[in-house]
Amino acid sequence: MKIVGVLIWSLAALADAGSLLENTRSTSEGSGGICLNGGTSVPSLTTGKHMFCLCADGFEGKSCETVKGPDCYEGVGLYYKGSVSISQSGRTCKEWDSDTREQYLSSDVKSGRHNYCRNLLYRRRPWCYVWKNQQLAWEYCEIPRCGFESPAEATCGQRTRIKQMKIVGGTVATVKSHPWVAAIFWHSKSKERVFRCGGSLISACWVLTAAHCFPDGSHSKEDSFSVTLGKNALNETDLTVEQTFGVEEIIIHEGFDINGENFNNDIALLKLKAKRGKCAEESTSVRTVCLPSPQQSLQPGFTCEIAGYGKEKHGLWYKSQYLREARVTLLADDVCRHRDYYGNMITDNMFCAGRPDGSQDACEGDSGGPMVCEVDSRLFQVGVISWGEGCGKAFRPGVYTRVTNYKRWIEEKVGLTSISVGAVFPHK
């Protein structure tokens, strides 16, 4: 008799539950909007009054008022369910259209009736439609990537030792002074490993370098290159310090013309081939460099650093076997464009730096390496060593790719909204 009673009670409870589920939407709608962000009000079985909110995926709180965890995205953001609705240019996202809601967002918050950023169509990260130039266009959203502050990136632009600053005219340095410097090697058909260019570690799996380091352009074969981090000398290998990776992908800026008269858009990215799911690991000899905020720059006269394995003097047939460093001064754009210097060869994507007497400069073999400037005790890469006429010649300073012009491009290719801490640089 007791068992039968339990069974009768259970059936009654199930009936009530079914009635509850049927009336949930109307209860929620009639509860004064107590459950937010698509949440559903669950009433009491006995009184029928609101008891708690059943929140949609990605939300929590008494009234489903907060996004679960930090408002960030994992991977490429396919499962991002946050409420950010601003594009990277600062525009307000438009609501998703009915066809998109029906096809992709039926299980989303409010069945997709919102303007929150989402990653539909498998793009690089969450995006949305915005009104731009009097027409509808899509843009990526300004959302941080979850866990982007990995140990290597959290300490970007920091070195573990004081530099021994008392290239051309420079001094031998240890890689601990420049732990973001990368050595890029090309492998010939005979398996000979030839140093090609310098680079800089900007994220655990990405290296920034110059486009002209790859004469075959977009046809360059990834398996013909490797990258070594933490290298003090080209002719020596220290397995306790160095980290070497194959190259998974080479991305050369679309606007770079290898056959052109100048090196405009001389910038490229290398994606390192992960080992056991990991790329670069932080150490005293391997760290990331910070990238500056877009549209910001340092004043002419500011002294910055360059480092590389290039020739110590123009005309030498051999490169330096050791990492060398030098200090150079940023020149004003009008000086670099003066007819006594480079004239109209300098574009808005370039800038010059050197010494008035030409005593310290980048040289052949330094290409692709970083120029870094110290701001608030961190080193920010403002330039990529690009080109110049000779080495250390008067009125012929080194020319560098202006990194601030490519921050958005880098973020889009790398697939991260912010890959470093932005510097608060004074405007020109």
The pair of structure tokens assigned to 209 is 């370098």
Active site residue 266: yes
**Is 329:358 a contact under the CB 8 Å cutoff?**
no
Q: Counting Cβ atoms within 10 Å, is residue 166 exposed (0-12), middle (13-18) or buried (19+)?
A: exposed
Quickly count: other Cβ atoms within 10 Å of residue 103's Cβ.
12
Q: Is 212 a catalytic residue?
A: yes
CA–CA separation, 310 and 266 (whole Å): 18
How many CA atoms does the CB half-sphere of 93 hold within 13 Å?
Answer: 24
Does an H or E element contain 384, and which?
Answer: strand 378-387
Polymer length of the chain? 428
Question: What are all long-range contacts of 60-64, with beta carbons under 8 Å and residues at least 24 apart?
Answer: 63/34, 63/35, 63/36, 63/39, 64/35, 64/36, 64/37, 64/38, 64/39
- Cα(202)–Cα(421) distance, rounded to whole angstroms? 11
Verify whether residue 223 is a known catalytic residue.
Answer: no
**Distance in angstroms (rounded) separating the CA atoms of residues 419 and 213:** 23
Catalytic site residue from 87, 226, 367, 420: 367
Backbone angles phi, psi at 157, to 5 degrees: 70, 15
Name the catalytic one among 266, 283, 285, 320. Answer: 266
Would you call 393 helix, strand, or coil by DSSP?
strand
Which of 212, 253, 320, 366 is catalytic? The answer is: 212
Residue 108 DSSP class: S
Residue 390: C-alpha distances to residues 96, 103, 349 (Å): 56, 60, 21
Kindly list the catalytic residues.
Answer: 212, 266, 367
